[in-house]
Amino acid sequence: MEAISSVSGRAYPFGRKNIDTDIIIPAKWLKTISRSGLGEGAFETIRAEEGNIFDDPEYAGSPILIAGDNFGCGSSREHAAWAMADMGIKAVIAPSFSDIFSSNAFKNALLTIALPQEAIDRLIEVAQSDPIHINLENQIVTTDFQDRFPFEIDPFRKNCLLNGLDEIGLTMQRDDAITDHEASLQQQHPWLVPAQ
Amino acid sequence: MPKTLYQKIWDAHIVESNGDTALLYIDRHLVHEVTSPQAFEGLRDAGRTVRRPDLTLAVPDHNLPTTARMDPSGTIIPIADPQSAAQLAALEKNTAEFGVPYIGATDRNQGIVHVIGPEQGFTLPGTTIVCGDSHTAAHGALGALAFGIGTSEVEHVMATQTLLLSQSKSMEVRVDGALNAGVSPKDLILHIIGVIGTAGGTGHVIEYRGKVFEEMSIEGRLTVSNMSIEGGARAGLIAPDDKTFAYLKDRPMAPKGEQWDAAVQYWKTLRTDAGAKFDKSVIINAADVAPSVTWGTSPEDVVPITGRVPDPMSFADPSKQAAAQKSLDYMGLSAGTKLQDVEIENIFIGSCTNSRIEDLRAAASILKGRKKADGVKWAIVVPGSGLVKEQAEAEGLDTIFTQAGFEWREPGCSACLGMNPDKVPAGERCASTSNRNFVGRQGPGSRTHLVSPAMAAAAAVTGKLTDIRDYK
Ligand code: SF4
């Protein structure tokens, strides 16, 4: 995974609630067997709307998306995170995220930052004309004005993101513990995890 | 300290824990064609193998056309869409290369991944089960901790048979009393989602408790637990009981003989202890639940079938007002319209929510000796698996469906998400037994009303959304 410590730049002042992963990337784009190129299908139904912010030159290439409550609900498709990364988004700020989406986003070094609705409202205002800054190390979102919004992040995830750690590699170093657990399961419940 | 069922299963699977994050052992991993190619690719690129192919089971379902898969001479009919064909070929090739057990498209056991898990006895109480699909929540109906994962996690499980997770909070949804006549498990779960909202269970694992679930069949429990994700919860759970054990006994992959007895002994301990605390609790009176239907583009947009399309301004939250107006525009509905006046052009009976034998029986009992209305242009039944299809045919249900004007199809996800050719045309309505009424879910521009199998069948006959209680 790519290491990430901060994201700075313009943000899409999107703000909508309950954006599901079918909206982020519709099913017809899921037939790919690769991770790249999905940006083309990202937010397709929204981009069909006249005057949508994703096609507004003002926000072209913004690294941050500001959204409403329950962002990324619905299907578990990681294609949603891949599509957003492919369109250049590096962080999403919203009041809440679906569990699966934030986990998928994390695996792709896409930050999901939960802030209260008042903070979101303010950031949407700022985003109309000015950049937003996210500092992962200090866990804070700031603007060029007086705004300072601290956020929470799981310490394990933070460490992986800051250092670009590969989770699978990390877990494989714990192979002895996994093997021990399997052996004890085999003893207790042979029907559950058969001996190999 | 008394523990919840969730806590018991969680604790039994911790390999290591640092307080915040636990390395959790995964007992069973289901794989399908859409969310696995990039995971296999990742393993290949890193020179890794699948650690426990014997605990993994792969089956194609999302892309497969539901038309005949073999011609009368037994030759496999190629898939027309080149991208679907490539994705299906990739699953076949990847499972062969990594030694993962694979149920192929023409195997009689093939079906939707969440239908075949329980059916094969791959899903067992007290296990941890994952799949790159959010409706993995379904398997919780058997008392398994089952949840959907993304493709990077699919790769992680394949490589290590574990996942790094932080524990969710616990939530109970208790439904006491008894469901009224004509009210099905689907109506109940739609009602629950209407009450808690689509973010109501976010960050939680829901345990469904109370008399109603104890009385409910395993198939009904699968319908309920399946839609936990629509309520925001990653997983649903129902404590295993004698019904669960009877359902699983003699399934191909379930334990046998002495091992079966030992397993049942253990499964009997899998209940929430008296006095255990839930982080959140929702109590619903079964008598309040009516046959339910959705009017909008979020699964929480639920009303009783006797209700009317709500006025967007009736919602307290201004953002919900705007969302409701958008939904109504998309759905082509206006506030105040009686749901029972809404005309339907398409009927879909299928999906991992409602494609098991009981669902097909419920629909067939309404359709017997009747025909679909002229206004209904397209009506299909897609059984959840080859075994469900065989059983239905043995009971003559296929004849009832075809005589009523339905198409009788091969198993798969089909119009639930429209990745295969089964799509609802733009601007048309569908009474669907699936689980998501999102914008474009059943095809670009499609308008979905989520209902139970019996309500879908009744809508086919009248050409409108219909109260099953008026319809004998
Ligand atoms: S039937 Fe629908 S919800 Fe179920 S696994 Fe298939 S696409 Fe997903």
Q: Regarding beta strands B429-432 and B447-450, do their DSSP bridges make them parallel or antiparallel, or are they unpaired? A: parallel
**One domain, residues B309 and B454:** yes
What residues of A are in contact with residue B23 (Cβ under 8 Å)? 171, 174, 177-178
Query: Has residue B175 been placed in a domain?
Result: yes
Q: How far apart are CA B451 and CA B456, in angstroms?
A: 6
- Ligand 1 pocket residue status of B133, Cβ below 6 Å: yes
Share the mean pLDDT of chain A: 94
Count Cα atoms within 13 angstroms, Cβ side, for B3: 12
Can you tell me the ipTM of this complex? 0.91
pLDDT digits (tens, 9 = 90+) for B387-445: 999 999 999 999 999 999 999 999 999 999 989 999 999 999 999 999 999 999 999 99
Q: Residue B263: is its pLDDT beyond 70?
A: yes
**One domain, residues A151 and A174:** no
Q: How far apart are CA B470 and CA B452, in angstroms?
A: 15
Q: Are B138 and B94 in contact (CB under 8 A)?
A: no
Q: CA end-to-end span of chain A, whole Å?
A: 32
Query: Residue B89's CB: how many other CB atoms inside 10 A?
Result: 14
**Gap from CA of B133 to ligand 1 centroid (Å):** 8
CATH number, residue A147: 3.20.19.10
**One domain, residues A29 and A121:** yes
- Ligand 1 pocket residue status of B410, Cβ below 6 Å: no
CATH number, residue B146: 3.30.499.10
Over range A1-25, report the average pLDDT.
94
CA separation (Å) from A116 to A121, A137, A190, B135, B332? 9, 20, 48, 29, 34
- Ligand 1 pocket residue status of B441, Cβ below 6 Å: no
Residue in A17, A168, A193 closest to B27 by CB:
A193
| Structure tokens, A67 | 């959204």
A127/chain B closest Cα distance in angstroms = 19
Query: Has residue A1 been placed in a domain?
Result: no
**One domain, residues B302 and B448:** yes
**One domain, residues B115 and B187:** no
The answer to whether the CB atoms of B54 and A196 lie below 8 A apart is yes
The answer to whether the CB atoms of B132 and A76 lie below 8 A apart is yes
- Ligand 1 pocket residue status of B127, Cβ below 6 Å: no
**One domain, residues B316 and B444:** yes
Count of structural domains, chain B: 3
Mapping DSSP onto H, E and C, the string for chain A reads CCCCCEEEECEEECCCCCCEHHHHCCHHHHHCCCCCCHHHHCCHHHHCCCCCHHHCHHHCCCCEEECCCCECECCCCCHHHHHHHHCCCCEEEECCECHHHHHHHHHCCCEEEECCHHHHHHHHHHHCCCCEEEECCCCEEEECCCCEEECCCCHHHHHHHHHCCCHHHHHHCCHHHHHHHHHHHHHHCCCCCCCC
Q: Residue B208: is its pLDDT beyond 80?
A: yes
At residue A1, the pLDDT reads 79
Q: Residue B85: is its pLDDT beyond 80?
A: yes
Helices (H), B99-236: 113-120, 151-160, 185-196, 211-215, 218-226
Q: Which of residues 157-186 of A touch B (CB under 8 A)?
A: 167-168, 171-172, 174-175, 177-178, 181-182, 185
Cα B54 from chain centroid? 24
Q: Residue B319: is its pLDDT beyond 90?
A: no
Q: How far apart are CA B398 and CA B393, in angstroms?
A: 5
Residue with tokens 């989406």: A101
Coil, strand or helix: which one is B447?
strand
B24/chain A closest Cα distance in angstroms = 9
Q: How far apart are CA B308 and CA B331, in angstroms?
A: 14
A99/chain B closest Cα distance in angstroms = 6
The pLDDT-based confidence of B64 (bands split at 50, 70, 90) is: very high
**One domain, residues A75 and A144:** yes
Q: Which domain holds residue A190?
A: 166-196
**One domain, residues A150 and A179:** no
**One domain, residues B400 and B460:** yes
At residue B142, the pLDDT reads 98
| Structure tokens, A188 | 């207790």
Length of chain B: 472
pLDDT digits (tens, 9 = 90+) for A90-135: 999 999 999 889 999 999 999 999 999 999 999 999 999 999 999 9
Q: Which domain holds residue B218?
A: 169-239+266-288
Q: Are B292 and B187 in contact (CB under 8 A)?
A: yes
Count of structural domains, chain A: 2
**One domain, residues B430 and B318:** yes
Protein residue closest via CA to atom 2 of ligand 1: B416
Q: Which of residues 64-93 of A touch B (CB under 8 A)?
A: 68-70, 73-79, 81
Judged by a CB distance cut-off of 8 A, whether residue A31 touches chain B is yes
**One domain, residues A79 and A115:** yes
**One domain, residues A146 and A97:** yes
Q: How far apart are CA A77 and CA B39, in angstroms?
A: 12
Q: How far apart are CA B12 and CA A171, in angstroms?
A: 19
**Gap from CA of B420 to ligand 1 centroid (Å):** 12
**One domain, residues A134 and A178:** no
DSSP state at residue B168: P
**One domain, residues B451 and B341:** yes
Amino acid making up residue B277? K
At residue B318, the pLDDT reads 85
pTM given for the model = 0.94
**One domain, residues A141 and A97:** yes
**One domain, residues B93 and B125:** yes
Query: Has residue B58 been placed in a domain?
Result: yes
At residue B472, the pLDDT reads 65
**One domain, residues B160 and B183:** no
Atom of ligand 1 nearest to the CA of B113: 5
**One domain, residues B156 and B195:** no
pLDDT digits (tens, 9 = 90+) for B271-314: 999 999 999 999 999 999 999 999 999 999 999 999 999 999 99
The answer to whether the CB atoms of A178 and B15 lie below 8 A apart is yes
Residue in A100, A172, A190 closest to B234 by CB:
A100
Atom of ligand 1 nearest to the CA of B351: 1
pLDDT digits (tens, 9 = 90+) for B212-239: 999 999 999 999 999 999 999 999 999 9
**One domain, residues A178 and A134:** no
In sequence order, what are the beta bridge partners of B303?
B293
Burial class, B18, CB count within 10 angstroms (exposed 0-12 / middle 13-18 / buried 19+): exposed
Query: Has residue B248 been placed in a domain?
Result: no
Q: Residue A196: is its pLDDT beyond 80?
A: no
